[in-house]
Amino acid sequence: MRSPATTKRITAANRNQWDASAKHHEQSDQWSTLKLGFGEKQYSVLDDIVSAGLTSAGVDGAKLVQIGCNNGREILSTFSLGARQGLGLDQSQQFLQQAQTLQAISGHNCQFLCSDIYALPNDIEQDFDIALITIGVLNWMPDLTRFFEIAADLLRPDGHMLVYETHPFLEMFDPESTTPHTPTFSYFKTQPHIESGLITYDGEKIDNPGKSYWFPHQLGAIVSAITAAGLQIAKLEEFPHSIREVEYDIFVGQSAQLPMSYLLQARKL
């Protein structure tokens, strides 16, 4: 477990890189598609896997919180499944401005809060029916145990948590290597990957001062942190499809297929 001071320094560095990257994302075709899409009441970017998970967790009529909501596209999409109220949490003010734009277009009953997850305000509500965590959240977290403790505190008793994330096995591979199908990193690596440049999804490399910190977490560490936070795991499903950057598509459709994503469903005791 890292010290609070180290955690604060790392999350601040990551926030700066996300804020700097927001403009690039706003200039993409995807942003134009989102603005157009959320003009339709039933528009959703959620795939069938997470949609089914949310439905089984009782999303219809539920109050949801998404931790690491980015530009809000996923939390806003839960309203197509019947969500009653939503709160999106993220520490990037620049991405939350985009989220507020999409919320205004959609008209959905959703608020957004800019905060470091490790330093949430004391008066934040703690009666959510469902907590949603999706791709690209856990690996930015330097303290997994504390992260899930905080996430669990946001739920009412018997509330549900869904984690739809990249599979930890993928952290062993470098898709840009000359031998991408040969493991590059140890599965048990604990030190972060330190990167420079803007954070993109499309494989484009854009220089930017500053550094970001990406932490590999073993599946066992994720499961242990969730159960230690007072959550009971109901289901853990692994999938062969990718939900991360386009570079990782080279690992899809192999005869010896890697697990590439997973959906974990848990309930607060």
- According to the model, what pLDDT value does residue 210 have? 82
Interatomic CA distance for residues 156 and 63, integer angstroms: 10
C-alpha torsion angle, residues 72, 234, 224, 70 (rounded to 10) = 0
Confidence (pLDDT) at 180 = 97
Number of domains in the chain: 1
pLDDT for 40 equals 97
Task: Give residue 204's pLDDT.
Answer: 60
- Domain containing 202 equals 4-268
Closest Cα to residue 96, out of 131, 118, 137, 68? Answer: 68
Q: What is the pLDDT of residue 1?
A: 66
- A 10 A CB-CB count for 38 gives 24
Residue located via tokens 């303290």: 143
Q: Give the integer Cα–Cα distance in Å for 209 and 226.
A: 35
Characterize 234-254 residue by residue with b for buried, 16 or more Cβ atoms within 10 angstroms of its Cβ, and e for exposed: eeeeeeeebbbbeebeebeee
What pLDDT is attached to residue 206?
62
CB under 8 A, 24+ apart: contacts of 223-228:
223/264, 225/144, 225/145, 225/147, 225/148, 226/148, 226/161, 226/163, 226/264, 226/266, 228/145, 228/148, 228/149
Residue 183 per-residue DSSP state: -
Q: Smallest Cα–Cα separation from 168: which of 254, 92, 236?
A: 236
pLDDT digit string (tens) for the chain, length 269 residues: 678 899 999 999 999 988 888 887 777 789 999 999 999 999 999 999 999 999 999 999 999 999 999 999 999 999 999 999 999 999 999 999 999 999 999 999 999 999 999 999 999 999 999 999 999 999 999 999 999 999 999 999 999 999 999 999 999 999 999 999 999 999 999 999 998 877 766 556 666 678 999 999 999 999 999 999 999 999 999 999 999 999 999 999 999 999 999 999 999 99
Which pLDDT value is given to residue 161? 99
Residue 259, domain CATH: 3.40.50.150
